[in-house]
Amino acid sequence: MSNKAVTVLDLQRMKQQGTRITMLTAYDATFARLVDQAGVDMILVGDSLGMVVQGHKNTLPVTIEQMAYHGAAVARSTERAHVVVDMPFLSYHVTDEEAVRNAGHLVQNGAHSVKLEGGAERATTINAIVRAQIPVMGHIGLTPQSVHAQGGFKVQGRGDDAGQRLLEDALAVQEAGAYSLVLEGIPLELATKISEALSIPTIGIGAGNGCDGQVLVIYDLLGLDDAFKPKFVKRYASLAGVVRDSIGTYIDEVRSGAFPDADHSFHSKRPVAPPAEGDAVDAPEGDRVPYGPTDLTH
C-alpha cells in the first residue's frame, strides 16, 4: 500500500482494476488518525454524526457548520485517506447556488470531496457542484435524510419497478458527473447490477458484496453500541464492554485511593525548602502544573 494521498483518480482506477475500495466513517481527530493509520482508502465524515455523536433520532438536525467543524478535525488528522464530507439536510435542496457555496465551505475546511443524497432529482445540483471543481459522491437507495418520505429506515428497490428506478437514478448521478456512488440498503442483486452498469465505483452499505467497495459506521464495526445490531453490520470487536469495564476499574481505584499511585505522580527532584518570607513561590522544574509546557512523561 502506497503512502500517497488517495485521490478521486485513484478510486476510479481501483474500479477499473477490480481492487475493492474500503471506506469508514470518522468524526474526530483521534478516530480519523486510527482509521487512516490502519490503511482505509476513504474516510466519510457522515451526517450519521447526528445520531452517533449528537444523540438525535435521525440525521435531519445536522447543520453545515457542524459538518465543516467535524470535517476539519478529521482532515487535519488524515494523511493518506480521501476525506469525503456529507452535505447535511437542506444544505443543497433550495438552490444550486447555495449548494455550491455550501460544498465549497466544506472543501475550504479540508474536505477532498462532498457527498449528497438523491438520484435523478439531484442531477442538476450535482452537476453545478462538479462544475465548481468539487468532486461529488452520490448516495441512493435508503437515504437517511428521506426518513420521513421513505416511511422509516427501510430497504429500498425491492421489486422490478423500484429496482429499475434506482438503476435510472444511478445512471443519472453518474451522468451528472459524480465520481462515485453510495448504495445503501438495497438488495444484493440490484446493487450488483447497478455496479456492473456504472463506470464509476459504487460503495455499498447493506447492499451486499457486488459493490466496488464497502462503508460502515466506525462505532458499529467496533461494537461500541451493544443495543444496535442491524443485519448489515458486522462487529469486528465488542468494545462497549471493554470501555465500561475500564471505566469501572478507574472508578473503583479512585474511590479506594489506588489511583494515582506513585508511578503516576510527579515527584520533587530536590527537597523543596519552605519559601522564606518575600521569596517568589515557584515550583521546581519538572514539577509544574499538568498541561503546562514541561515534559509530563516522568
Q: Which residues bind ligand KIV (CB under 6 A)?
A: 25, 44, 46-48, 86, 182, 184, 205, 215, 217
CA-CA-CA-CA torsion sign (52, 53, 59, 64): negative
At residue 193, what are phi and psi to the nearest 5 degrees? -65, -45
Query: Taking the complex as a whole, how short is the minimal distance between the CB of residue 290 and ligand KIV, in angstroms?
Result: 36
CB 153 within 8 A of CB 101: no
Q: How far is the CB of 128 from ligand KIV (least distance, A)?
A: 21
Closer of 103 and 215 to ligand KIV (Cβ): 215
Catalytic residue among 117, 184, 277, 285: 184
Q: State the minimum distance, in angstroms, from the CB of residue 61 to ligand KIV.
A: 13
Question: Smaller CB distance to ligand KIV: residue 100 or 182?
Answer: 182
Grid coordinates given for 124 = 442538476
Q: Which three cell numbers stand for residue 199?
A: 463506470
* Residue placing its CB nearer to ligand KIV in the complex, 21 or 44: 44
Would you call 277 a catalytic residue per the annotation?
A: no
Residue nearest ligand KIV, CB atom distance: 46
Rounded to the nearest whole angstrom, what is the least distance from the CB of residue 17 to ligand KIV in the complex?
23
Tell me whether residue 48 or residue 202 sits nearer to ligand KIV (CB atom): 48
Q: Which residues are catalytic?
A: 184
